[in-house]
Chain A
Amino acid sequence: MATTEEILAGMAEILNEVADVAPEDVSVEKSFTDDLDVDSLSMVEVAMAAEEKFGVKIPDEELPNLKTVGDAVSYIEKNPS
């Protein structure tokens, strides 16, 4: 199972690919929409990429709850495949 650091690094890769976020800007307290400029369509892409990378399932109802990078990391840690 991936460590917290590995998940955070993986999220940084995804955010860079999908939304051009600089890896150094990615930290657990950052809000996707407010701090990182990730719009709703990109959020779906981020979730899809995270599902692929970490082997988790992120249902649509869960997306609104993943407001910060930390929320996503915790969710992935708590819901391994």
Chain B
Amino acid sequence: MTETVLNTSDPVVVTGLGATTPLGGDVPSFWENLLAGKSGVRALTEDWAAPLAVRIAATMAVDPTEVIPRVQARRLDRAEQAALVASQQAWEDAGFKGTSEENGLDPLRVAVVIGTGIGGVTSLMNQHDIMLAKGPSKVSPLMIPMNMPNGPAAYVGLQVGARAGVHTPVSACASGAEAIAYGLDLLQLGRADIVVVGGTEACIHPLTISGFAQMRAMSARNEEPERASRPYDKNRDGFVLGEGAGVLVLERASAARARGRTPYAVLAGAGLTADSHDIVQPDPDGNGQARAARIAIERSGVAKSDVVHVNAHATSTPAGDMAEAKWIAKLLGEQTIVAGTKSMTGHLLGAAGAIEAIATVLSIANDIIPPTINLDDPEEGLAVDVPREARKVTVPAALNDSFGFGGHNAALLFHKA
């Protein structure tokens, strides 16, 4: 079945980027540390981590409470804080200061789509502790706005003044990418003229760690935190949990031109599919994933030969990494340059697709592909090109993949502006 190519006479472009991640409190530091092969993973030395089987995580390099004024921060869950830090950066990077109205934009034409895997779970857990210790009357009246998964999107909507719509797609580790795909749709359907899109996640907590650890999905390489996330390596033993947020500003090319902005890249196509295979295991043949990639490429109108680079999902799990690498080799060829950036950032769950989209966009804009670190002993049969150091190469187009528990597959195709 062929997918029709949508209207490309006025493509959707990326005009703003913002991120707060384990590799830095903003995009420049994120990108610099990514290219340098730095790890954002650390040992969890906090008391609450002592009894856990997994005692490593990738925490935000700059705490959002250092950036957000105290009285505002105390009303926000950490995932909301991260989203607001990233969205402020992206919005300003796109050339806006203050609300949409203050910038001469029609708020009725501004939308926000911020995905999250689990939303404000740490606030929920903290309030539960308070309720158990002191009783129901001591639960914060702010617990609900802190916990609700639409909270991050809603707060970003308040920040920029978005009235076209404020949305929160939830698809586990595909949430951030799906949010970007949703933003593309809103622009192509004419529902909005500017969309602030991305993903956020901040769920580092004994219960969430235990939940993932009990599934045997996480690395337990506690004595070597920076070497624990090792996609494609023979000794990978699971993912490392990360936190943070990534936000992009999307608008039509004509609008960016009218504002005198140079886009980073074109968001030319998105593919969304579902495995219908298992509640957590991906389809081992990667059929649903490959289908999402094919759809994104076909809808973009870009030739496969131009898709020089894939920012892979590659979470460092024994099964997942290779299933994905296999279909990438088959679809795009063994010369495809693949980056497993989770080797450095860890797995930011609902924010992963967004920060990886940012890395993909910057690869295209700067003609340089980030390394995959800890790849000391590649798995047999790894048939794509995975550089261990940043690779300078012309990148006309690139694909960003994200897959989530539940069989959600999202692929985004970007190309040069």
Contact = CB atoms under 8 A, between A and B. Distances in A.
A56 interface: no
A47 B141 CA distance: 11
A36 interface: no
Contacts of B145: 41
A19 B71 contact: yes
Contacts of B69: 20
A44 B141 contact: yes
A45 B141 contact: yes
A44 B137 CA distance: 11
Nearest to A45: B141
A18 B70 CA distance: 10
Given A44-B141, A45-B141, 11 more contacts: A19-B71, A20-B69, A20-B70, A20-B71, A41-B141, A41-B142, A41-B145, A45-B142, A48-B137, A48-B138, A48-B141
Interface string B125-142: 000000000000110111
16 contacts: A18-B71, A19-B71, A20-B69, A20-B70, A20-B71, A41-B75, A41-B141, A41-B142, A41-B145, A44-B141, A45-B140, A45-B141, A45-B142, A48-B137, A48-B138, A48-B141
Interface of A: 18-20, 41, 44-45, 48
Interface residues of B, number: 10
A34 B70 CA distance: 22
Nearest to B142: A41
A71 to B, nearest CB: 20
Nearest to B70: A20
Nearest to A20: B71
B11 to A, nearest CB: 42
Contacts of B142: 41, 45
A48 B25 CA distance: 35
Contacts of B141: 41, 44-45, 48
B72 to A, nearest CB: 8
Interface in B105-155: 137-138, 140-142, 145
A20 B140 CA distance: 18
Contacts of A44: 141
Nearest to A44: B141
Nearest to B144: A41
A45 B145 CA distance: 14
A41 B143 CA distance: 10
Nearest to B139: A48
A8 B138 CA distance: 23
A1 B357 CA distance: 61
Contacts of A20: 69-71
B164 to A, nearest CB: 25
